[in-house]
Amino acid sequence: MDQSSSQKDQTYLYHGTDVAEGVAVIAHDDHHFTSSRHSHSQAQLLYAVSGVISLTTESGTWVVPPSRAVWLPPHLEHVTASRTSIQFRSLLIDADGRDTLPKDCMVVEVTPLLRELILRLAGLVDKPDRKEVADAVIRLLLLELAFLPAQPLNLPLPKHPVLAAFCETVLGDLAHTISIEEAANDLHVSRATLMRLFQRETGLSFGRWRQQARMLKALTLLAEGRTILDVALDCGYESPSAFSAMFRRSLGRSPRDYFQSAILTGETSRGAD
C-alpha cells in the first residue's frame, strides 16, 4: 500500500463516511491493527461484529468481545487495537444537543435491535436519498442505547508512577500470583499503605483488580481460539474449573456459552450485512 492510500485509510478510520447530518459510519475488516493515539470531535459507538478489540485511554483499558460495543464520549484520547482478525462497525455521533447520551466510556452488550440498527446505518452509506430513513434509525438507536447497562469489561489504571509501573509488571505475567504482602515489600511500603493506594487509584482492591485483568486477558485469548485449559494456566488459575467459576461469577455465563452466543450473533450480523 502506498503512502497516499495509507493516509486515506487513516482519514477514513478517524472520520468515516457521513450517512446523515452529524453521524458518520466506519466499517473495517482487518487481520489485526493498532491505531495511533487519537480522539474524535464526536461521540463514538464501536461495535465488534467479530474478534476482540481493546481500547486504552489515560484512565484504563476496555475490552470489547464479539457482539459487544464500547461507547466513547467526544474528545477522549484513545488507542484501539486488536490481536485477532477483526470485523467492526463504528458510528461517530455529534453529541451536541443530545443530553441523554452517556457521559463516560463504557462497554455494552449489543442487543439484536441495536445490532440491526448499527448495520442498517452502515448499509445507508452512499445513499443520500435515504436521509429520512437514516434519521429515524439514529433516533431509535439512541433510545435503545440509553437503556443498556454497562458491562464489567474495563480495567482502571493507576496514575501514581510507582503503582503504574508495578501494574505494568503484573500485567506482563498474569500467570504469576504475587501476594499483597510480597507486592508491598517490592514497593517498600506497608501492606496497609499499598491497599489504600490501590483502592484510591483504581477503585478496586489489588486482588479484585488482578482478577479483572485476568478475565480481560482471558477474553482475548479465548477469541484467538485457545483452549480453556491453556487460557486458565496463562491467566494464573490452577484448573479449568477454577477459571470457569471465576468467569461465570464475573460475566454470568460459562466461557463456552459466552462465546457461543457471540458466534450466533455474529453469524446473524454477517447475514444482515
* Domain containing residue 70: CATH number: 2.60.120.280
Question: Is 271 within a domain?
Answer: no
Residue 41 predicted with pLDDT over 80? yes
What percent of the chain is modeled with pLDDT above 90?
51
Residue 175 predicted with pLDDT over 90? yes
**Do 9 and 134 sit in the same domain of this protein?**
yes
**Do 131 and 256 sit in the same domain of this protein?**
no
Please compute the mean of the pLDDT values over residues 22-26 and round it to a whole number.
89
Residue 49 predicted with pLDDT over 60? yes
**Do 46 and 139 sit in the same domain of this protein?**
yes
Q: Quote the CA–CA distance of 146 and 100 in Å, as a whole number.
A: 7
Question: Is 267 within a domain?
Answer: no
Q: How confident is residue 6, by pLDDT bands cut at 50, 70 and 90? A: very low
Among candidate residues 151, 179, 200, the one where a domain is terminated: 151
Residue 132 makes CB contacts below 8 A (sequence gap 6+) with: none
Question: Is 229 within a domain?
Answer: yes
Residue 190 predicted with pLDDT over 90? yes
Residue 77 predicted with pLDDT over 90? yes
Question: Is 266 within a domain?
Answer: no
| pLDDT recorded at residue 27 | 87
Please compute the mean of the pLDDT values over residues 189-207 and round it to a whole number.
94
249: domain CATH number is 1.10.10.60
Residue 270 predicted with pLDDT over 50? no
Question: Is 272 within a domain?
Answer: no
Choice between 93 and 98, residue whose per-residue pLDDT is larger: 93
The one-letter amino acid code at 103 reads K
The one-letter amino acid code at 174 reads L
**Do 36 and 146 sit in the same domain of this protein?**
yes
Look up residue 111 and give its DSSP letter: -
Among candidate residues 111, 126, 151, the one where a domain is terminated: 151
Q: What are phi and psi of 142, to 5 degrees?
A: -70, -35
The tally of domains found in the chain comes to 2
Question: Is 273 within a domain?
Answer: no
65 neighbors 56 (Cβ within 8 angstroms): no
Please compute the mean of the pLDDT values over residues 229-251 and round it to a whole number.
93
**Do 141 and 25 sit in the same domain of this protein?**
yes
Choice between 68 and 263, residue whose per-residue pLDDT is larger: 68
Q: How confident is residue 91, by pLDDT bands cut at 50, 70 and 90? A: very high
**Do 161 and 39 sit in the same domain of this protein?**
no
Question: Can you give the pTM of this predicted structure?
Answer: 0.81
**Do 133 and 216 sit in the same domain of this protein?**
no
Mean pLDDT score of the chain, rounded to an integer? 86
Look up residue 261 and give its DSSP letter: H
**Do 146 and 161 sit in the same domain of this protein?**
no
Among candidate residues 108, 125, 151, the one where a domain is terminated: 151
| pLDDT recorded at residue 268 | 42
**Do 66 and 201 sit in the same domain of this protein?**
no
Query: Three cell numbers at 98?
Result: 443530545
Residue 158 makes CB contacts below 8 A (sequence gap 6+) with: 164, 167, 197, 198, 201, 202
| 102-106, 121-125, 228-232: which is most confident | 228-232
Q: Quote the CA–CA distance of 158 and 5 in Å, as a whole number.
A: 38
Residue 97 predicted with pLDDT over 90? no
Q: If we measure between CA atoms, which residue out of 197, 176, 175, 159 comes closest to residue 58?
A: 159
**Domain span including residue 253:** 157-261
**Do 179 and 126 sit in the same domain of this protein?**
no
Beta bridge partners of 26: 90
Lowest mean pLDDT segment, chosen from 1-10, 154-163, 168-177: 1-10
Question: Is 90 within a domain?
Answer: yes
pLDDT tens digits for 199-228?
Answer: 999 999 999 999 999 999 999 898 888 999
| 7-16, 121-130, 147-156: which is most confident | 147-156
**Do 136 and 174 sit in the same domain of this protein?**
no
**Do 106 and 36 sit in the same domain of this protein?**
yes
